[in-house]
Amino acid sequence: MAKKGASISGFPEWLPQERVVEQRVIDTLRRVFELHGFLGIETRAVETGASLLKKGETSKEIYLLSRLQEFGQDDAPVESHLGLHFDLTVPLSRYVVENSGGLVFPFKRWQIQKVWRGERPQEGRYREFTQADIDIVGDGTLPEHYEVDAPLVMVEALEELRTLGLPAAVIHANSRKLSEGFYRGIGITDVDPVLREIDKLDKITADQVSRLLQQDAGCTAGQAEACLRLAQVTASTADGLRGSCASLCEEYGIEHGSDPYALMQQGVDTLAMIIDRASKIRPGAVVADLRIARGLDYYTGSVYETFLDGAEHLGSICSGGRYDNLASQGNRTYPGVGLSIGVSRLVSYLLHTVSASPSRISPACVLVAVWDEDSRMVSDRIAAALRSRGISCDVSPNSAKIGKQIKYADRLGIPYVWFPAEPGDADPVPGHDQIKNIITGEQEDADVSSWAPAPDYARQDITAGN
């Protein structure tokens, strides 16, 4: 028997009114994704350890499964176990390879599912949570313009959520090629550890990152200082980005025509294109921010992090990037670009910071009253007729006094109570059904074949306080 308070840290459960907010977020995201032609899929929750480790150093985050394994494998390496997926990108890469013959490329997919991650629970961060992803995957090649299209879809989706009280969102973008070219230009040969340490700038100070770069990434003090200088560069225009990068190349002696300079310039060109195109479609929605690193091994090009105005303490609520080598099949590769929204983190923010709440708990906008149990079938027929016309309704759970039935509707936020014309002795107006708006107190005759709720009462609205 479940006991009150027996919750498990990091595994949230929403009350019905909180679930309404979560569902509105999910419905909004799906609507925007499909508006842009993305196709919905769902992948299995379980992947092989070897597949999950494609993401990089994440073995401590994987929830391994033992019940589905052969007996005696508990001490086997992570690669040989099965585990719950902790994101939706790695499962997508497997899905694309296995189903490539039945997909149309470029394959644009949306996916909203639970994921599991073994990290320390804290505000807005859970061990079980819902993610919403979009990805665009090519067959062999993927045009650069998708590196603008994908983040702009996410900006549009987040903009739609502002009706729930969400602040404005800004995507901060960088390019792995830009960062890698610069690092190699100042003499760093092992780039991945540097990216992982730079990725911690949102969580710890620059001095702490500098120490980690020297202790764990093999940088000299001068190289660590140069990496942090690059991370300080921000720009809202293509010209501003080019100018800042050119100055750093000159300052640190990265020669024109060298391989590092050419790699860095590829990144600068792509990032400048992203900023320029995005500014023409949604001004201010995407900015260049060279501290964005995304410490994950599979990103090869643009990388993105998204922050809410005035809620920077929440961290990034939407992230992603370009990957060219995550999915392959022989000589065939499937480059992609995508972003992921932490739905559970957004919902937590809306509930606890913005105080978003539904206008009613129940999706029903009508409660059909029941005069007595012998006439319940009359109420059931009325409810069925209303539902056949797309009007959500419920039937009173009992034939208590009308005042108690109205109170029941009020507790669920149901705005209308329907009074059947039968039985005649109890009917307020013999021969006619009546409908009562318990919010305004208005009551009138109603015909089940033609009555419709007022638009303001037909749906569950979400309100936001402060």
Report the chain's C-alpha Rg in angstroms.
28
The rounded distance, in Å, linking the Cα atoms of 135 and 107 is 8
Q: How many whole angstroms separate alpha carbon 367 and alpha carbon 227?
A: 64
User: For residue 118, which of 80, 77, 78 has the smallest C-alpha distance?
Assistant: 78
CB-based contact 380:409 (threshold 8 Å): no
Residues annotated in the binding site for L-histidine, as ranges? 87-89, 117, 131, 135, 294, 298-299
What torsion do the CA atoms of 409, 413, 416, 419 make, to the nearest 10 degrees?
0
Query: Which residues carry a binding-site annotation?
Result: 87-89, 117, 131, 135, 294, 298-299
456: left (phi > 0), else alpha (psi -120 to 50), else beta? alpha
Whether 134 and 108 have beta carbons less than 8 Å apart is answered as yes
Which structure tokens are listed for 197? 């340490």
Residue 65 has a CB neighbour count (10 Å cut-off) of 14
442: CB partners within 8 A, 6+ apart = 436
